[in-house]
Amino acid sequence: MKRALITGVTGQDGMYLSELLHGKGYEVFGLVAGQNNPKAELLAKSHPYVRIVSGNLLDLVSLIRAVADSEPDEVYNLGAVSFVAYSWQNARLTSDVTGGGVLNILEAVRFYQDSSGKAVRFYQASSSEMFGKVQDVPQRESTLLWPRSPYGVAKVFGHYMTINYRESYGMHASSGVLFNHESPRRGPEFVTRKVSQAVARITLGLQDGIALGNLDAKRDWGFAGDYVEAMWLMLQQDEADDYVISTGETHSIRELLTIAFDEVGITDWEPLVTIDPRFMRPAEVDLLIGDSTKAREKLGWKPRVEFDELVRMMVRSDLELQAAAGSERSS
């Protein structure tokens, strides 16, 4: 039985990846930070097969212990401060966790390999946010990185640190440059879920409208369930490498709104949306569209869920959740 340790296990990707690995017969360990972490309780209920280990990406000693205790064949580093807008207000924390945390977990893995003699394969969750002010359209593995947020800068550090550990120590360390990936499990601070939740609440008469920032930004949005499969495939290769994971399509926030409102039969959505400067970013990433040819050819990976289907799936899920919360409130 293979063993995997996942950091960020309580997040959207951590949950999908746990399910994938459990389905493949892995023993899954999940790193959880903090005392009485409510997310750990929820995970224990929804994913009882995940063995929770305590540790924090800021604390190297805790990581050394977590890796030694879980004796992993594979480590997936998904943990991060991941909300781009938040990273301007918390640049130091974002740099420490999202950037410095990668160095800590790489060191913990290296220390474990050296002391146990066991080879460990490592996955780093890099991000299309690293492309920032894009220098190629579409963006591929060779595209120059030009991050536009403290989060993007921190991800660049983690990305190059992963490559450096591969080149310096021969570690099987791969980096997945994942474009935006969403699902009904997405946090409500991200624009896709913010929209799907608002559309559901407007439909049920619980909310009047939605306040958003830049409607013209374009993203290459895929389904998180498809993207975790790419992570796993990277670690099954003989050689570690870096891969762009994307759909190859780009859509604006306006298109997202059109599909989300269409799912509930609203075509004229503009009166329901207000532009609020609070949601504008100091520096925007205007256009992301990825070229995942390398992953498709070498890993045999391809996305299965299309954008239209993804948005409708999220709206339907939020309609169910909001309706269930409503009947709980009235009972």
User: Based on CB atoms, which residue is closest to ligand G4F, 233 or 257?
Assistant: 257
Q: How far is the CB of 201 from ligand G4F (least distance, A)?
A: 15
Q: Would you report the helix, strand and coil content of the chain in percent, each value rounded to 5?
A: 50, 15, 35
Do the bridges between strand 74-77 and strand 51-54 make them parallel or antiparallel, or are there none, so unpaired? unpaired
Q: Which stretch binds ligand G4F (CB under 6 A): 24-32, 82-90, 226-234, 243-251?
A: 82-90
- 26, 76, 112, 151: which is the annotated catalytic residue? 151
Q: Check residue 213 for interaction with ligand G4F (CB under 6 A).
A: yes
Based on the residue annotation, tell me whether 16 is a catalytic residue of this protein. no
User: Minimal CA–CA distance to 312: which of 268, 263, 251?
Assistant: 263
User: Based on CB atoms, which residue is closest to ligand G4F, 54 or 214?
Assistant: 214
With contact defined as beta carbons under 8 Å apart, do 289 and 246 qualify? yes
Q: How far is the CB of 6 from ligand G4F (least distance, A)?
A: 16
Q: Check residue 279 for interaction with ligand G4F (CB under 6 A).
A: yes
Instruction: Judge if the upstream peptide bond of residue 303 is cis by omega within 30 degrees of 0.
Output: no
With contact defined as beta carbons under 8 Å apart, do 292 and 246 qualify? yes
Position among 64, 102, 173, 212 found at the interface with ligand G4F (CB under 6 A): 212
Size of the site for ligand G4F (CB under 6 A): 23
Q: Check residue 183 for interaction with ligand G4F (CB under 6 A).
A: no
Q: Which tokens hold the place of 199? A: 């559309």
Q: Which stretch binds ligand G4F (CB under 6 A): 123-131, 138-146, 266-274, 313-321?
A: 123-131
Tokens 């540790």 correspond to 55
Q: Which tokens hold the place of 213? A: 């920032």
User: Based on CB atoms, which residue is closest to ligand G4F, 18 or 127?
Assistant: 127
Q: Which stretch binds ligand G4F (CB under 6 A): 54-62, 80-88, 113-121, 305-313?
A: 80-88
Q: Check residue 226 for interaction with ligand G4F (CB under 6 A).
A: no
User: Based on CB atoms, which residue is closest to ligand G4F, 213 or 326?
Assistant: 213
Position among 7, 70, 124, 127 found at the interface with ligand G4F (CB under 6 A): 127
Q: Which stretch binds ligand G4F (CB under 6 A): 132-140, 161-169, 209-217, 239-247?
A: 209-217
Q: Check residue 47 for interaction with ligand G4F (CB under 6 A).
A: no
User: Minimal CA–CA distance to 102: which of 34, 159, 61?
Assistant: 159
Based on the residue annotation, tell me whether 151 is a catalytic residue of this protein. yes
Contacts 24+ apart (CB under 8 A), 39-44: 39/10, 40/10, 42/10, 43/9, 43/10, 43/15
Do the bridges between strand 251-252 and strand 218-219 make them parallel or antiparallel, or are there none, so unpaired? antiparallel
Based on the residue annotation, tell me whether 127 is a catalytic residue of this protein. yes
Q: Which tokens hold the place of 186? A: 């997405």
- 18, 127, 175, 292: which is the annotated catalytic residue? 127
Q: How far is the CB of 24 from ligand G4F (least distance, A)?
A: 25
Q: Check residue 136 for interaction with ligand G4F (CB under 6 A).
A: no
Q: Check residue 39 for interaction with ligand G4F (CB under 6 A).
A: no
Q: Check residue 148 for interaction with ligand G4F (CB under 6 A).
A: no
The catalytic site residues sit at 127, 129, 151
Contacting positions for ligand G4F (CB under 6 A):
82, 84-85, 127-129, 179-180, 189-191, 194, 212-214, 217, 219, 253, 279, 281, 284-285, 288
